A and B are shown apart, each in its own frame.
Chain A
Amino acid sequence: MSGGVRLEFDDLAKRFDLRVVFRAVSGAAEPGEVLAITGPNGSGKSTLLTILCGLLRATRGTVRYLLSDGGAEIPRELWRKQLGIVAPSMSLYENLDALENLRFLALVRGMRQSEARCRECLESVGLDPARSTIVRGFSTGMHQRLKIAQAILHDPPVLFLDEPGSNLDPAGQDWLEELVADQREHGKTVVLATNDRREMEWGTRRVALPG
């Protein structure tokens, strides 16, 4: 993909049975921007991210991904190729090692000659020395780093980060800040759901969900 991808969502609402999670939520993010989604616990930040990724249908409203060069809309069935996601509700395979996890995801994402890219991603998150360690034996911080590695593995134009700094030590949080800045520089669209004041500062746009 040569250009970036613009994300637009308009009048989104989500209801589970009788419980309304949120309603009338709109926003947009251009390539090179960080959209910070904030709100108290239970306000639906993670649910909104899941809807934006296409893993969950909204009760009302629209989500659109548009190519920045030309503005053509990307069909829903092709969204997944444009996205990388880090979320607490998504796990990696605990009985595979770090490199096996990335190799598998690279293969099913249609990446060829992916070995070097997998090693590069593990190196960038500081997990190369632990590449042959079964993920079950990882600390929570290492888990989080591996999740970030899989999200950037296919170099997606849109990156979703749900509470990305949770479980990271101060050095890891500094590294994460650099990663987000690097993604912005390379024209990626970053969507961040967080309650962390430091992470909120990274946002160039903000959508605040009411509690």
Chain B
Amino acid sequence: MWRFLAEAGAVFTKDLRTEFRTRVALNALGLFAITTLAAVSYTIGPYRIAENDRPFLLAALLWIVIFFAAMAGLDRTFVKEEDTHTAPLLRLSAEPLVVWAGKLLFNFVLLDVLMAILVPLYMVLMGFRVASTAGFLLVLVAGGYTLAVTTTMVAAIIARAMTRGALFSVLSLPLLLPLLIFLIQGTRAAVEGSAEGISDSLRAVVSLGGVMTVVSVVLFPVVWNE
């Protein structure tokens, strides 16, 4: 187990180091997030939504911004290994699940960094307040993991395909749509302070994350090696 973690940690550290030297994914994520956030806050702002609609609409807008920013940057993780011809050496050197775990951790951290910057900005610009901070943080972390595990698997599939750009969105949408709905419901419940609503949504999000983790563990070695 320790050996697996050390090897996955090496993949994660390598990706982190190369990312901080090139900033390709960070720039794509950041630029998309800030542009979307600026557009939303400029056109809607904190006061153009009726008080009754605020919990649902602001929760939906928050996850739309996070979701589209994630779509812009998280598909790079395997594509760049194929494009730079480093994938064959990685295939020969590392166990498939070590690669998967390292890449998943990298995408999860990248998404967490994005959310750590984006969410406070969103709260300030949109006047977004939550009644249950702990519930909201749990929804963000669980949502971040499930988003990362799903996009990591889809990124691995599309890296082996020829028409990558369109395929990422096409494959991701049906997998991420139910997740997005549960995350919006969970965030709305956190805004309203409904412990039952938060708990229901978290259960659904964690279940989806668990299913995607199991599917990835079974499927990834086949996708990666064939």
User: Which A residues form the contact surface with B (CB < 8 A)?
Assistant: 50, 53, 55, 57, 80, 83, 85, 87, 89-96, 100, 104-105, 107-110, 134, 150
Contacts and interface: CB of A to CB of B under 8 A. Distances in A.
19 contacts: A53-B92, A55-B88, A57-B226, A87-B88, A90-B88, A91-B85, A92-B86, A92-B89, A93-B14, A93-B86, A94-B84, A96-B14, A105-B89, A107-B6, A108-B10, A108-B11, A109-B93, A134-B21, A150-B89
Contacts of A104: 10, 13-14
What are the nearest 4 A-B pairs in CB distance? Answer: A107-B10, A108-B94, A91-B85, A95-B18
Contacts of B22: 95
Contacts, number: 61
Nearest to B102: A108
Contacts of A100: 14, 17
Nearest to A136: B21
A96 B6 CA distance: 19
Interface residues of B, number: 24
B160 interface: no
Contact of B93 (A50, A57, A80, A134): A80
Given A105-B93, A108-B11, A108-B93, A95 B85 contact: no
A91 to B, nearest CB: 4
Interface in B86-111: 86, 88-95, 98
B92 A107 contact: no
A80 B89 contact: no
A87 B98 CA distance: 24
B48 interface: no
A96 B89 contact: no
Given A93-B18, A108-B11, A85 B92 contact: yes
Contacts of A87: 88
B18 A83 contact: no
